A and B are shown apart, each in its own frame.
Chain A
C-alpha cells in the first residue's frame, strides 16, 4: 500500500484502536482501510461516485453524500471521532459542518491547507496572483476551495465556539513543524478537537 497522505498518517496514528469513526470526505477510503486494520468501526461519506464505488468495492461502509447536507441525519454522539480531512475549506457552510461534526463525534480531527503559509502570502502579496502550491494545486477558476482559511482563523474560530483543541500538528509537505509561527511557516495543519 502506498504511504498515507501526511495529515491522514497523523490522524491514523492518533485514533484509538477499536473506536467508532466517521470519515467525512473519505475519498477512496485509504484512511478507513488503515483504521479498519486497527479494528475501528469506520464509516465514510464521499461526494464523488467513482471514489464511493472504489471504497465500497474494497468492502468499506461508505455512502455517497455531501458534508453540507447529509450530516444532519446522524444521531448525536454516534462516533468517537469524526474526521474532516482537507474538506472544511470546500464546504458551502464550514461553520455548520463543524457544528455537525462536533455533535456527531465526541472528538473531531480537522485538517486543512493554511492560506497564511509564507509561500501563499508571497504569491499574493508580491506576485499579485492567487497561489498555486503543492497544498493548493488548483487554479482559482477550478478550485473546490471556496472558503480559504488560515491556522489563526481556525484557532479563533474554535475558541469562539468554545471548543477545546486537544492537540494540533503543523506540517510543510510531510515535515512536522513546531507550533511557533505555524501560521506563517506551516503549509497545512491537523487539529484534534473536543467539545
Chain B
C-alpha cells in the first residue's frame, strides 16, 4: 500500500462534508492536512492516531516546513521509540481551526472566495475529533490500535474514547484534563484579549495585506509560555540573571525597559518566533475550543457516564510540576474510569519541566507508553 497517494508525508485531502458542528453550523468542504508514517498492515489493525496540542501540527516526526526544526514529538515517535513506524501506521492531522493546511479561519470561504477570518464557525474539541474520524474513514481505518496525545491532544483522545468508543482500542492521555478549569480559561482569555487589542487585528480581517497582529499574538504566546513551565524550572534556567550585552557578558540593568533579564529576552524570543508559524485567528478559535471542553457536560455532568461500558483501555500520565493541567485533573479522570469499570493505568511522573514535560526527555514516560501500547497489541 506504499504507493497509495493517501499515505505519506505532507498529505492533504478535501472531504465533501458537511461536518455538523457542535455550534450548529455546517462546514463543507472540510480540508485536512495530515501525515502518515509506517505501513498499514493487512487487517488494518496497527493504526495509531497522534493528536497534537494547541499550537502543534501534523509534522509529528518530520521537519517543520516553516521553522525547519525536527518534528515536535521525535522523542516519542520514530525508529526504536514507543510509537514506531516499523510497527505502527501512524496518522497525525492538523486540527480543525488550525493554520497548517486544515480548514480554519485563514481558509477560503467558498461563499466569498476570501478567507473566512471571524466568519469561520466556532469549533469544539469534539468537532476536531469528528473531522479526524472523517479522515480515518477516508484512509480506510475503522478502528485505531491507539489514540495518543498530550495537553490538548489528550483532550482529543478523551473525546475520541467518549464519542467513538468502538474505534479506539487504547487511549493515552498525557498532561491533560477532562475539562478546562477557570484558571485555564482565564489564561486563554488574556491571550485572546492581547490579540484583539492589537490594532492590526482589525476584527480578524488582516489576511489581504499580509500585516497580521504579530505583537498581540506574541504577547499571547509569552503569557501562555509561562504556564507551560514550572517556577523551579524558570528559576533554574534563568534565575535573576541579566542578559549579556555588547562589551559586558554579565549584563547590566539598563534603568529602562529593554529586556534586562534573561527571562524577558527568552519570552520575547518565544513570542516573536511564534508569529512566523502561527495564525492569530487560529489561536483565538483553538483556545476557545479548549475553553468549551468539558466531557462530563455532554453526559449529565458525570464524567463516568462518558465511559460507561467502554472496551477502550486507558493510560494517563501527569507530571508533578505541571500546574496548568495538574495531577488532580488526571486523577479525576482515573476515578471516573474506575467508576465506569474501564481498564486504566495512571502514574504521576517526576520532572522539573512543568507542563512542557510531555514534549521533553522523560525516559519514564517512554517506558510507560511503550509498555502500555505493547500490552494492548499483544492482547
Contacts and interface: CB of A to CB of B under 8 A. Distances in A.
Interface string A43-71: 10000010011011111111111000010
Contacts of B374: 59
Interface in B360-379: 364, 367-368, 370-372, 374-376, 378
B350 interface: yes
Interface stretch (A72-80, A88-96, A122-130, A177-185): A72-80
Contact of A49 (B350, B372, B378): B350
In the A-B complex, the 8 residue pairs with the closest CB atoms? A59-B375, A57-B371, A63-B346, A73-B335, A52-B347, A57-B367, A56-B345, A61-B343
Most chain-A Cβ atoms within 10 A of its Cβ — which of B331, B334, B338, B349? B338
Interface of A: 41, 43, 49, 52-53, 55-65, 70, 73-75, 78
Interface in B307-337: 313, 315, 331, 334-335
6 contacts: A52-B347, A59-B376, A61-B345, A73-B335, A74-B339, A78-B341
B375 A49 contact: no
B313 A57 contact: no
A59 B372 CA distance: 5
Nearest to B366: A57
Contacts of A63: 334, 338, 344-347
A55 B346 CA distance: 10
A73 B338 contact: yes
A75 B345 CA distance: 17
Contacts of B345: 52, 55-56, 60-63
Do most interface residues of chain B lie in helix, strand or loop, or is the interface mixed? helix
A55 B364 CA distance: 12
Contacts of B364: 53
Nearest to B374: A59
A74 B375 contact: no
Contacts of A41: 343
A52 to B, nearest CB: 4
Contacts of B338: 63, 73-74
A55 B376 CA distance: 14
Contacts of A62: 345-347
B344 A61 contact: yes
B346 A75 contact: no
B264 interface: no
A64 B335 contact: no
Nearest to B376: A59
B231 interface: no
Contact of B370 (A49, A52, A57, A64): A57
B109 interface: no
B368 A57 contact: yes
Nearest to A79: B341
B348 interface: yes
A56 B347 contact: yes
